[in-house]
Chains A and B, each alone.
Chain A
Amino acid sequence: SYELTQPPSVSVSPGQTARITCSGDALPKQYAHWYQQKPGQAPVLMIYKDSERPSGIPERFSGSSSGTIVTLTISGVQAEDEADYYCQSADSSGSYWVFGGGTKLTVL
């Protein structure tokens, strides 16, 4: 079955830029979406269709795609951005969806 691979953890100091990657063989064909989840809360859509930002999401969150890797970039990281981040996409035929294993972002 199809898998998306994320680093388990990323650490960054406040004000710096955090980059969280997600790799998958079908990413050149399928859009990726990114979610933020804080403890005890439901996930929040941060980026969809690789780089679209839903209304209400701060501009410091952006997404990009290059081949089999998509990247969530958080510019000027704030303490409130500390959370788990998940990428999501579909298999090559668009038959089902999967989430990456998640990346814990720690703000030092």
Chain B
Amino acid sequence: EVQLVESGGGLVQPGRSLRLSCAASGFTFDDYAMHWVRQAPGKGLEWVSGISWNSGSIAYADSVKGRFTISRDNAKNCLYLEMNSLGAEDTALYYCAKEVTVTVFDGAFDIWGQGTTLTVSS
């Protein structure tokens, strides 16, 4: 079964850091670009960051550029999101998502995890 399982969310104070992880299974992880998408409570979807299959291409939303770092470990079938200088605006459910087509980096996500919740509050 193709599966993505996020972890690492929680309650953190403003200004602190946190790392999210996404464990992939059921598909050839290193064939696909991966992304993080978040959804604030009661709000719409916001694309956060994406990384190509070989980490050669990386992109960030302006809202997180300079604070968040995406990475992947293809040997461990894992995607990560290192988040620094967190603020209340980062409070959201964070999903990892897989591109639908091998090796491309064009933003269509066919598999999503169930998400991990980040709450930034003092």
Where chain B touches its partner, the secondary structure class is: strand
CA distance A89 to B108 in the complex (A): 9
**Nearest B residue to A6 by beta-carbon distance?**
B44
CA distance A44 to B46 in the complex (A): 15
Interface segment, one of A16-24, A64-72, A98-106: A98-106
Q: Is the CB of B108 within 8 A of A33?
A: yes
Q: Is the CB of A86 within 8 A of B45?
A: yes
**Nearest B residue to A1 by beta-carbon distance?**
B62
Chain A, interface size category, equals 20 to 34
CA distance A54 to B60 in the complex (A): 26
> Within 8 Å of chain B (Cβ to Cβ): is A45?
yes
Q: How far is the CB of A96 from chain B (nearest CB, A)?
A: 5
**Nearest A residue to B113 by beta-carbon distance?**
A42
Q: Which of A45, A84, A101 contacts B109 (CB 8 A)?
A: A45
A contact residues around B11 at 8 Å (CB): none
Q: Is the CB of A96 within 8 A of B47?
A: yes
Chain B, interface size category, equals 20 to 34
Given contacts A1-B62, A90-B106, contact A42 B112 (CB under 8 A): yes
In chain B between 36 and 72, which residues have their CB closer than 8 angstroms to a CB of chain A? 37, 44-47, 50, 59-62
Q: Is the CB of A98 within 8 A of B62?
A: no
In chain B between 65 and 84, which residues have their CB closer than 8 angstroms to a CB of chain A? none
Q: Is the CB of B100 within 8 A of A89?
A: no
> Within 8 Å of chain B (Cβ to Cβ): is A61?
no
> Within 8 Å of chain B (Cβ to Cβ): is A62?
no
Q: Is the CB of A99 within 8 A of B46?
A: yes
A-to-B contact residues, CB < 8 Å: 1, 31, 33, 35, 37, 42-45, 48-49, 54, 84, 86, 88-90, 94-102
Pull 18 A–B residue pairs with CB atoms less than 8 Å apart, ordered by A.
A33-B107, A33-B109, A35-B45, A42-B112, A42-B115, A43-B112, A44-B112, A45-B100, A45-B108, A45-B110, A48-B108, A48-B110, A84-B44, A88-B45, A88-B107, A99-B45, A99-B47, A101-B44
B-to-A contact residues, CB < 8 Å: 35, 37, 44-47, 50, 59-62, 95, 100, 106-110, 112-115
